[in-house]
Every structure is written in structure tokens, then in C-alpha cells.
Structure 1
Amino acid sequence: MGIGRSALLAALLAGGAWAAHSAGLQRLTLAGEPPLQAMFWTPCAQPPAPLKRGPFEVMATEDCPVAASGKLPLVVISHGYAGSALSHWNMAAALADGGIAVLSLNHSLDSALNLAQGGSFAALEARPADVRRAIDGVLADRRWSAVLDAQRIGFLGFSRGAYTGLVLAGAKPDFAQLAGHCPEPQSPMCQAIAQGQIPALKPQPEPRIKAMVLADPLAAFGASSGLEKLKLPLQLWASEQGGEGVPAGAVQALAKWLPAGKSAKPTVQVVAGAAHFAFLAPCSAQLAAAAPEICSDPPGFERSAFQKRWAAEVLAFFRQQL
């Protein structure tokens, strides 16, 4: 008899039965043009140690042997605008500690490493191709293909990363939806939207992805996006206050277009009191000083407490779906 969802969630919140001990961490460079820089997280049987990576303070064990008796599911994490492979490091570590391998990548045209074309349609068009290339690269690497189950691949995206997930699920962007709340008003993309000069970007379905968690997706989808045709399981999250191209209530509006799944239409878990950046890992003192706009939360909101609950919910979802 399987463990019930509520009991599973309680165990995960307590850091109980599913935990390996910590997350192992490897740096990867994935071939292609340009090469993609990524972090690869796996279950580790050694205790974690604090690692300093730029402004991030990460708890993981570097180059730890994979602690697994069988092949692992894989989850790809896609960051938001100007984010990085470490923007959601605590989520990656929690999933790895719970028995899931995680590939978090730096997107080629709009990460903290390269923002030269960050405000362009080209950056958004490149994102799904980045994810596909990242999956190809890690599955082709003989070090990891032996421990990964290519039939159990999931995806987690935040903001532009959640936009990326919807395109990979088969949705067609409708950038006219961003008129009036485009996140970088002076960028070439937002200027073009204001002038009605909007390209028709196509869906880029990736059938290897079997389930998705999407948090505050960029509000670039509407009635013409084909959302009603999407078939894979989705877990949707929304900050109550929104921000950065995600108006309050936008995720709930998007969910109305989605089809019913095996039991019911996907629902949105609204994070009370949260603004858009609540889905980022809690900031180190160095990062908070350098980028207070992404590290500050509304009064009364505790990002660390929410992040622990979010990680447990996400792990439970991927365990069920993968």
C-alpha cells in the first residue's frame, strides 16, 4: 500500500525517509554554440558543506559520487531574466536530496552571464532550444547516462523559465498580452510590443518532458496560445502580488485555458503575501547588498519558510508524476 500524499508531504517537510544526506554538485559545460554552463545535482551520501559560488552560499557536496541504487529521474530548472543556474539552488539541492537528479542551466542569451540580447525576442526564442540542448548533452554524457532514466524527465521554470516551460509543453506565445505591463519597458522587445511589431514565435514541444512545475510565468499567453491542448501534468504557482511582467491574477487567468487532467483542471497555488521574487532562493548577505530588489520581500512574508514548503510540494509532485 503506497504512502498517502499528506503523509509523504509531512515526511518531506521533516527531511525524513526520502533524504539521501545531501546534494552532490558538479559543474558542466554542455557542447554547442554557444556552450551552455550548467550545474548538475545528484543524491549524495556525504554530509553537505557550505560552498561559496560568486554571491551565492550553497549547501552541497562538490563532486560527490551518486548515491542511487537505480536510475534517477531528471528535472531541468530554467531561471528567469538575468538569473543563473544557482538562482534556485536550494530547490535543486532539495530535489537531489530526495532522489532526483537536477540540471540547472544558464540560458544562452538572458542569464546573469550574458545579457547582451536579454531584452530581445531572440532571447525568448533561444530558451526552449537551450533546454533541449541541455537534455541532449547530459543524456549523451557517459558519466551520467548510466544513472539517468531518459523516460522520467521533468521541468521547473520561474518567470521567463515558466514561459519556457509552456512553449516546451506546446503553447504558442502571444506577446500582445504583455502590452501595458512589459517587464523592461525600454527594451527592444517591449518597445516592439508597444508598437505592435510582434513576431509569431512557434511552440517548440519537447515530448521527453513528462511533468512541469511553473511559477509566475511571464504573462505572454492567451486565447490563441493553444493552452487547451496541453496534455502533460502541471503544478502551477503564483505570487499573490506578482510583478516583472506577471500581473496579480495572471496565472489564475492562464489556468482557465488549460484542459482538465486525469481528475481535474490544474489549479494555481497562490502564495499569500508573496511578490514575484519569492520563488528565488533566499539571498546571502552579499547578494542582498548587491541586488536588494530581488532579495527583499513584502512585510510579514518569510521567504525561507515558504521555500521549505515549496520544495516539499514540488518533490511530492515529481515523485508522483515521474
Structure 2
Amino acid sequence: MKNILHIAALTLALTANSVLAQEVRTGLSDLKISDARRDRPLEGFIWYPTKETARLKAHQSNGVWQGIQAIEDAEPLTGKRPFVVLSHGMYGNARNQNWLADALVQHGFVVAAIHHPGTSSWMRDPDQARQMWDRPGDISRVIDHVLTDPTISTHIDPERIYMAGHSLGGMTAVALAGGRFDAPKMDAFCAARPREMVCGLLDLWKIAKTPEDAKAMQADLSDPRIKGFAMFDLGATQTFSTASLNAIARPLLVIGAPKGESDVNLDVESRALRAAVPAEFVTYMEPENLSHFDFLGVCKPGGLAILQAEEPEDAFICADGVEERMADQAIVIEAVLAAFQ
């Protein structure tokens, strides 16, 4: 009976949101955060529901990526709404999950994403990358900003704040959920399995190589304001202490990507996270056609050819990147909506 009632309630919520989706468009504005961290300014985007219809056009698109239809600096709908912060993967950027942001907005959410300094497409500073503890802090700073900025705070429900992260953004999400970096565990893991992707990455960025850095990494970086999390084919599960993963007590949606060539080892990443966190707090999925790069945007039909000609080493990110990717993303969107409703 409890499950039947839950399904009925979820169906009503999704039906109501479907009606909302027919009535709104996506507003899009630049997001700039200026606070006490003047050494680490944050920039990105915020997407939100609007009733405006004029000026609707493609945004965040180019010859490769489809982008989304949005209205720049539109007037937001009134009322407080659930809020989601997105965290991109290694050398990604705030545009990468705009497809998810657009879908969430159509169901009543406000969504924000920033470029993480040091590990984003255009900010690959090795010293900032070394300070990996700042990544969860970036997300907390976004939440601080939207809850205090007078032009945004009136649209945010502080009791419905969520977070989703892809790849390295998934590691960021685990830290915010209560995972604690464990330097000795990581050293032992990499001594036994030095070819694992996360081991090479931590060496490249010199993560926790000094006592001061190890202390900063092993601090409690969680944010209790976040009510639920989604991890998309995350990396670096092995960096967290087993005890801290066992103690996570907030809902996690963990989605692994089994298809295609990727350096992400599901057995030591998504599947390992599912096994470590108490079962009542984890919803786990592994859609059979989902690949690691399906969490990026949808490619244009000619996007693959452009990459093959201009950036051949990156062309794989548009393999099966149009219709099949859209189908895979529809599965992810449905799961995220169910998790965050």
C-alpha cells in the first residue's frame, strides 16, 4: 500500500508539472558570484521558468552542439521553487548539462551551474586543480549566493535544494553528501592499482601530496542544505573513507554508464558507491545504452564530422550523439525528476 500511494503521489506531481511544462519557457541569465573568495571568482549560468515567449532562440549552441531554446534575461515566474546546482566533469564547463537544466526548468525548477576554476574547459590552472577541496566549496558558494541575493532568493525554496554532478562532479557530490577524503586509503588503492584513472589524475594534479593539502582534503566538506543528490557516472569513489560512505543518510541517485570506451571503471566507482552507502538511501541505475559522454549535450547531425576534421582526438564524444543520446537523456531526466520530486 505504501508503494502504491508513493507511485500515485509521484504520478500526480509529474502530471501537474507536465501542465506547467506546457505553459513556461526557459529563462537564461549569466551567473557571477562575488564574495569573500576573491581569489576564486565563479561564473556560470542560471536557468529558470518564465512566461515570456518573445525572444526565444537557440543558446549555448555552435556547429557541434545543439544547445537549448531559451530567453535571455527573461522575467522569472513568481514564487519559490526547488533549486538544483550542477557540477561538470574534468575539463568540462557549465554548459555541459544544459539539456538537464532545460528539462528541470520545464518542471518548475531553478537550476544553476558554474565553471569550476582549475578543472574546467577554459580554466586549467594546475594550482587551482590541486586545491580539489574547493570544488564542493564552489557549490556551497552558489547556494549561499542564491539564498542571499535579493534578485534570486525570492525564487528559491531553501527546503528543496538538490545537486547533481557528472564524472568529477560526481566526486564533488559525494563530498557534499558527507564523503570524507581518505589519503591513506587512496595511497593503498593506487599502490595496488596504479593504472586506475583516478590514480593518474590525482598524481597529475598533485592532490593531497603535502600534509597541509591532505588536511584540507580530509575536512568535512558536506553541505546539510542539500536534500538529495544525483551522481552521473562518477569518478574517485575510492578516495572516500569507507566509514564516511557508510554514514551517508541523504538520498542518492547513482547512474552508471556501461556502454562505450571510457576510463571510468564501474566496479570501483558507481557500483562501489552503491555498495558502500546504506541501501535505503541509494537508487541505482545502469541503462544499457548509456555512455559516459551521453551526459554532455546533444550533438548536431554534422557535429561528428566537424570534430573528426578539426579535433579528431575528441570526435568520440559525438559518437551516437544525436537520436540515441536524446533517448538516453530522456531516461536520465525521468530518473532525476523522480529523485528530486
Cα offsets for 1:196-239 (capped at 9, x unmatched): 99935223010111111111111333553510101111111000
Higher radius of gyration, 1 or 2: 2
2:24 pairs with 1:21: yes
| Residue 240 of structure 1, aligned match among 244, 258, 269 | 258
TM-score normalised by L of structure 1: 0.84
- Confirm or deny: 8 A CA contact 1:173 1:220 kept in the other structure: no
- Confirm or deny: 8 A CA contact 2:29 2:47 kept in the other structure: yes
- Confirm or deny: 8 A CA contact 2:18 2:107 kept in the other structure: no
Displacement of 1:136 after TM fit?
1.2
Post-superposition, which runs of at least 4 consecutive aligned residues in structure 1 deviate over 4 A? 8-12, 52-56, 190-193, 195-198, 242-245, 285-288
Determine the structure 2 residue equivalent to 1:216: 233
CA distance in structure 2 between the aligned counterparts of 1:226 and 1:301, rounded to whole angstroms: 40
Determine the structure 2 residue equivalent to 1:181: 196
The amino acid across from 2:175 in the alignment is V
- Confirm or deny: 8 A CA contact 1:182 1:190 kept in the other structure: no
Change (3 A) 1:254 1:196: farther
Change (3 A) 1:115 1:74: same
Change (3 A) 1:3 1:283: same
Determine the structure 1 residue equivalent to 2:145: 137
Determine the structure 1 residue equivalent to 2:291: 275
- Confirm or deny: 8 A CA contact 2:180 2:244 kept in the other structure: yes
CA distance in structure 1 between the aligned counterparts of 2:47 and 2:266, rounded to whole angstroms: 33
2:187 pairs with 1:157: no
Cα offsets for 1:135-180 (capped at 9, x unmatched): 1122221101111112211001111111001001110134344632
Displacement of 1:49 after TM fit?
2.1
Determine the structure 1 residue equivalent to 2:73: 63
2:187 pairs with 1:169: no
| Residue 222 of structure 2, aligned match among 205, 218, 224 | 205
| Unmatched segments (≥5 aa) in structure 2 | none
Displacement of 1:105 after TM fit?
1.0
Change (3 A) 1:163 1:275: same
Helix, strand or coil: the match of 2:197? coil
Helix, strand or coil: the match of 2:95? coil
Displacement of 1:72 after TM fit?
0.7
CA distance in structure 2 between the aligned counterparts of 1:315 and 1:182, rounded to whole angstroms: 31
Cα offsets for 1:104-155 (capped at 9, x unmatched): 1111221112012289432x22101111111112222110111111221100
Displacement of 1:18 after TM fit?
3.5
- Confirm or deny: 8 A CA contact 1:260 1:266 kept in the other structure: yes
2:309 pairs with 1:295: no
Helix, strand or coil: the match of 1:162? helix
Displacement of 1:302 after TM fit?
1.2
Determine the structure 2 residue equivalent to 1:312: 334
The amino acid across from 1:126 in the alignment is D
| Unmatched segments (≥5 aa) in structure 1 | none
Aligned pairs for 1:43-62 within 5 A: 43-47=49-53, 48-52=56-60, 56=65, 57-62=67-72
Displacement of 1:260 after TM fit?
3.5
- Confirm or deny: 8 A CA contact 1:50 1:58 kept in the other structure: yes
2:100 pairs with 1:94: no
Displacement of 1:308 after TM fit?
1.8
- Confirm or deny: 8 A CA contact 1:132 1:206 kept in the other structure: yes
- Confirm or deny: 8 A CA contact 2:179 2:241 kept in the other structure: no
Helix, strand or coil: the match of 1:17? helix
Displacement of 1:192 after TM fit?
5.5
TM-align CA RMSD: 3.2
CA distance in structure 2 between the aligned counterparts of 1:3 and 1:266, rounded to whole angstroms: 18
Displacement of 1:189 after TM fit?
2.4
CA distance in structure 1 between the aligned counterparts of 2:255 and 2:336, rounded to whole angstroms: 10
CA distance in structure 2 between the aligned counterparts of 1:89 and 1:79, rounded to whole angstroms: 11
- Confirm or deny: 8 A CA contact 2:126 2:205 kept in the other structure: no
TM-score normalised by L of structure 2: 0.79
The amino acid across from 2:25 in the alignment is S
CA distance in structure 2 between the aligned counterparts of 1:254 and 1:214, rounded to whole angstroms: 10
Sequence identity of aligned pairs in percent?
A: 28
Give the paired residue count: 309
CA distance in structure 2 between the aligned counterparts of 1:113 and 1:184, rounded to whole angstroms: 23
Change (3 A) 1:150 1:6: closer
- Confirm or deny: 8 A CA contact 2:51 2:77 kept in the other structure: yes
Change (3 A) 1:196 1:294: farther
Displacement of 1:24 after TM fit?
0.7
